[in-house]
Amino acid sequence: MKKQVLNIFTVLALGLAVVGCKNEKQAETSEAKEVAEVAVEAKYKAIAEESMIMWEANKIVGGHSGTINLSNGVIETKGNALVGGNFIFDIATLANTDIEDAEQKAKLEGHLKADDFFDVEKFPNASFEITSVEGDNVSGNLMMKGIKKNITIPVKVGMNEDMMTITSDVFTIDRTEWDIKYNSGKFADPAKLGDYMIKDDVELKISVTAKKA
């Protein structure tokens, strides 16, 4: 499975460009919203080992990429249409995929899980709860570090007998809106940070595979 995850990410990484402060992939973000009331005809249970968030974060020079695995999740449908769902991601599974040296890889992963970034001991999970679906655009409450914001992202939905997939386009969020501020030019002097300044925009892609319950 580890090899499969790496292969998936390799394909994704080849298509990613270094992002600036704002671009056309920026997710529309607003305050958390209530889940829309919709009729549900079927539910699909997410397959944890085949579902994940893929991420890429950049400094002024260089950057890193990796994955965060799904813990559990449910997709709700009406006919063949996606109408709802909720997903929980285990931040403790955060893994780097671009560093080959085992010691450096472990050092980065440990730092990302510490309180400078995700503070895994205090906030072990992230979640995404779909609040509404309009065409190919899905809106949902993304919660990290106890902070919940609604984002709207384009997705592709696939159906094959009793299997279903949801794959988002690559999109970016401003990490500081979820209190991830380490080495951000908004909260420290960019001149002093120099090449250590980390861009606020982080690229994400959500991929979920599920089986009819």
Provide the residue-wise pLDDT of the chain in tens; the chain has 213 residues: 444 444 444 334 333 333 333 445 899 999 999 999 999 999 999 999 999 999 999 998 899 999 999 999 999 999 999 999 999 999 999 999 999 999 999 999 999 999 999 999 999 999 999 999 999 999 999 999 999 999 999 999 999 999 999 999 999 999 999 999 999 999 999 999 999 999 999 999 999 999 999
* Per-residue pLDDT tens over the stretch 169-185: 999 999 999 999 999 99
CA distance 81 to 40: 10
* Per-residue pLDDT tens over the stretch 30-73: 999 999 999 999 999 999 999 999 999 999 889 999 999 999 99
Which residues, in sequence order, are CB contacts of 81 under 8 Å at separation 6+? 133, 157
Distance of CA 55 to the CA centre of its chain: 6
Residue type, 194: G
Return the pLDDT at 3.
Answer: 43
| Contact status, residue 200 vs residue 65, Cβ threshold 8 Å | no
CA distance 32 to 29: 9
Tokens describing residue 123: 């906030």
Q: Among candidates 203, 193, 212, which has minimal Cα distance to 153?
A: 203
Residue type, 62: G
Which residues, in sequence order, are CB contacts of 58 under 8 Å at separation 6+? 18, 19, 198, 199
